[in-house]
Amino acid sequence: MELELAKLAAGLSLAPATVERWIRQGRLPVRQKGGQCIFSLSSLQKWAVANRMTFVLPGQAPPGEPGNQADTLSDAMLRGGIFYDTEGDTIEAVLHSAVSRIHWFEEGAQKQKLLESLLAREQLMSTGIGRGVAIPHPRQPIEMIAAPPLITVCFLRAPIDYHALDRQPVFVLFVLVCPSAKSHLRLLARLSYCLREETFVDFLRRIPANDTFYEKIREVDSRSDGHGKSWERI
């Protein structure tokens, strides 16, 4: 099957630059010939499922609008990624480092806009929720690209003053970026429920490895079902 790069990127809800880079790196089962992308539809769909993504052909109805996706925390975090030794000794510096890791946004204007949105939210009120944890997020949904809800987890190289209410230095960020208010509130409620458990925060302080982290987040998140709540003040 053949599709233009822009249409293939739209079908995967990725930036065209990201798709082009992944093709060059051999991360996508796609090859480029001129301005066209050539691939096996079944192979690409299997790849998307294996990577917790969806691929929608142009003209087809998506399985659900981004704001209606019943994502789990592990779904969102698999898309956003977990990163260690995030650098920075100020809020702006660590957010800049965090945004640089989010591949759903193109380098340049898109990432700059996201960074500005996160910093603007911090000026209203710190997203440091206490016990060394912060949940940076834009005040308004990000609509620059058709990205699904995602959470990028960044363990800091060194804790920083994040102006949290309890004045404890922050050692981990959960950067929450969603295309709709509905998906934002759903994931924020699930994440907040997990972070209420002291044992889970203690687990985070041990800076767990990827596999251990995802196993734990699935376990704790499963207990949040049925306890949804809008944590609008965070």
Can you read off the two tokens belonging to residue 54? 């969806």
DSSP output for 163-222: --TT-PPEEEEEEEE-SSHHHHHHHHHHHHHHHT-HHHHHHHHT---HHHHHHHHHHHHH
H-type alpha helices, the chain: 5-12, 16-25, 41-50, 73-80, 91-101, 109-124, 181-195, 198-205, 210-222
Question: Do the Cβ atoms of 71 and 185 come closer than 8 Å?
Answer: no
Nearest-angstrom CA–CA distance, 137 and 121: 7
Q: Is residue 143 very low, low, confident or very high in pLDDT (cuts 50, 70, 90)?
A: low
Cβ(73)–Cβ(187) under 8 Å? yes
Q: What is the mean pLDDT of the chain?
A: 84
What is the spatial distance between Cα 219 and Cα 128, in angstroms, rounded to a whole number?
Answer: 24
Give 211: exposed, middle or buried? Use CB within 10 Å, 0-12, 13-18, 19+. Answer: exposed
What single-letter amino acid sits at 88?
Answer: G
**Predicted TM-score (pTM) above 0.75:** no
Q: pLDDT value at position 110?
A: 83
- The length of the chain in residues reads 234
Give the model confidence (pLDDT) of 107-133 as tens digits: 788 889 999 999 999 999 999 999 999
Convert the pLDDT of each residue in 20-76 to its tens digit: 888 988 889 999 988 899 999 888 888 887 776 778 776 665 554 444 445 789 888
DSSP state of 118: H
Q: Return the number of other C-beta atoms located less than 10 Å from residue 107's C-beta.
A: 12
Measured between alpha carbons, how far is 149 from 206 in angstroms, rounded to an integer? 27
Q: 132 in the Ramachandran plot: left (φ > 0), alpha (ψ -120 to 50) or beta?
A: left
Say what the pLDDT of residue 146 is: 55
Could you give the CA distance from residue 197 to residue 63 in angstroms, rounded to a whole number? 34
Q: Is 137 an annotated catalytic residue?
A: yes
pLDDT tens digits for range 94-114: 999 999 988 877 778 888 999
- Catalytic residue, chosen from 103, 137, 163, 184, is 137
Query: Higher model confidence: residue 7 or residue 136?
Result: 136
